[in-house]
Chains A and B, each alone.
Chain A
Amino acid sequence: MRDLDRRLLAFLQDGLPLVAAPYATLGQRLGVSEAEVRARLDHLQSAGVISRFGLVVRHHELGYRANAMVVWDVPDAEVRAAGRRLAALDFVTLCYQRPRRLPRWPYNLFCMIHGQDRDEVLAQVVEAAVLAGLEQVRREVLFSTRRFKQRGACYAAPTETAKQAEVA
C-alpha cells in the first residue's frame, strides 16, 4: 500500500469533514488534489483494502443496548463451514476464527450479536446454534458491561504512533 493511502486512512480516522467539499479538505491536508483523494478511495475499495466507506454508527446509541461476543469450541475440521453458516445470519455482525489458547481458552470461533436487550440476544444465540448446527458445541456468551473505548483503528505510520504512545 502506498504511503499516501496509509496517510489518507490515518486522516479518515477522525471522519470525513462535514463541509461541502470534504475531499478537497483532505487533499489540502495531504498535499494532493481532491480528485486524487477520490481516486485513491475508489481504488482502495475496489482493491478490497476498504470493506466499506460510509457512516460508522454506534449500535448502543441506536437502541441496541445488549452486545455479546459469542465464542464456540468447534472441531477444527468443521470450523470453516460453521463460520460461514453463522456469518450468513442477519443478526450476526462479525464472525471470525481465532486460535485456541489451551488450557486457558478453548474457543476458536467468535461472533458478535447485537440486540435490544439480553433476552433478545440470548434467544438469538440459541437460534444461531440451531441454524449453524452448533447445538452440541461448547459455547460461552460474553456480554459487554462497560465500554471504555470505541473508535476507528489507527494505522498511522509507526514512528508517529510510537510518539503518541510516549505522550499517552
Chain B
Amino acid sequence: MTAAVLQSSECNEAGDLDWVQRALIDGYQRGFPLTEHPYATIAEALGVSESAVLEALADLRERGVLGRIGAVVRPHRAGWSTLAALEVPEARLEEVAALVSAYPEVNHNYEREHELNLWFVVAAAERGRVEAVLDDIELRSGLEVLELPLEEAFCLDLGFAIRWARS
C-alpha cells in the first residue's frame, strides 16, 4: 500500500495542462454526453478531433488529475454509506490504514490532524454490509470505530470550479 503524502511536490501542476484539458475539466464534470460517440460529441463542441479529446483524457488520467469519468451517486439512493473515524496510535497508523483500505467497500481513507486521526468512508449496496465491515474493522484493529452517517446533505456534489488564473 503506497500512501500519497499530500505535501509532496512530485505531482503535476495544473499549469501544465493545455486548453483542451482545462476545457474538459471546466465543461464536463457533469452532463457528460450520452451520445453513441460521446468523445466525438465533445470534440465537435470544442472544435478539435476525437482523438485529441481521447489523448487529452488519457493524459489527465496518467497524471492522476482525472480519477475517472464516472457517476457520482447521491448518498443513500443506490445503497448505504457512512463516514467513520478511528483514533490510531501513531506507531500503528500505517498498519491500520492498510487494513482499512483493503476493504473494497472503503472508498476514501485519509489521515487527518486530530486525536481521531484516520477518517474513511464505507459504502455498500446494503446497510448490513456497511455495519459488517465496521464491526470487522473494530475486531481486527482492536480500536473503537466512531460511526457518523449522513443525516442531511445540504449540497450535492456537482463538480468543482477550478480557479485556473492562480496556477
A-to-B contact residues, CB < 8 Å: 1, 5-6, 9, 12-16, 18, 20-24, 34, 38, 41-42, 44, 48-63, 65, 67, 69, 80, 83-84, 86-88, 90, 92-99, 101, 104-105, 110, 114, 116, 140, 142-158, 161-162, 164-165, 168
Min CB distance B27 to A, Å, is 9
Instruction: Give the number of residues in B that approach A within 8 Å (Cβ atoms).
Output: 97
Interface residue SS majority, chain B = mixed
Query: Does B13 lie at the interface of the complex (its beta carbon under 8 Å from any beta carbon of A)?
Result: yes
Among A6, A55, A97, A114, the one with the most B-chain Cβ atoms within 10 Å of its Cβ is A55
In the complex, chain A residues whose CB is within 8 Å of the CB of B157: 51-52, 93-94
A62 to chain B, nearest CB (A): 5
**Which residue numbers of B lie inside 8 Å of A, CB to CB?**
1, 3-7, 11-15, 24-25, 28-32, 34-40, 50, 54, 57-58, 60-61, 63-74, 77-79, 81, 83, 85, 97-98, 100-114, 116, 119-121, 123-126, 128-129, 133, 136, 146-162, 166-167
Q: Are B30 and A69 in contact (CB under 8 A)?
A: no
Q: Is the CB of A148 within 8 A of B3?
A: yes
Q: A16-B68, A58-B65, A148-B97 are in contact. Are A22 and B155 (CB under 8 A)?
A: no
Cα A1 to Cα B40 in complex, Å, equals 31
Tell me which of A34, A149, A154 has the highest count of chain B C-beta atoms within 10 A of its own C-beta: A149
On whether A145 and B111 interact (CB within 8 A), knowing A13-B70, A83-B152, A153-B121, the answer reads yes
10 cross-chain pairs, A with B, having the tightest CB-CB distances, nearest first:
A15-B68, A87-B155, A52-B30, A153-B123, A83-B154, A87-B154, A54-B32, A146-B111, A149-B109, A16-B69
B34–A42 CB distance below 8 A = yes
In the complex, what's the smallest C-beta–C-beta distance from B126 to chain A, in angstroms?
A: 5
Taking a contact as CB atoms closer than 8 A, the residue among B3, B24, B39, B155 that contacts A147 in the complex is: B3
The binding surface of chain A is classed by DSSP as mixed
| Separation of A72 and B124 alpha carbons in the complex (Å) | 27
Max chain B C-beta neighbours (<10 A), residue from A88, A93, A104, A150: A150
B14 touches A56 (CB 8 A): no
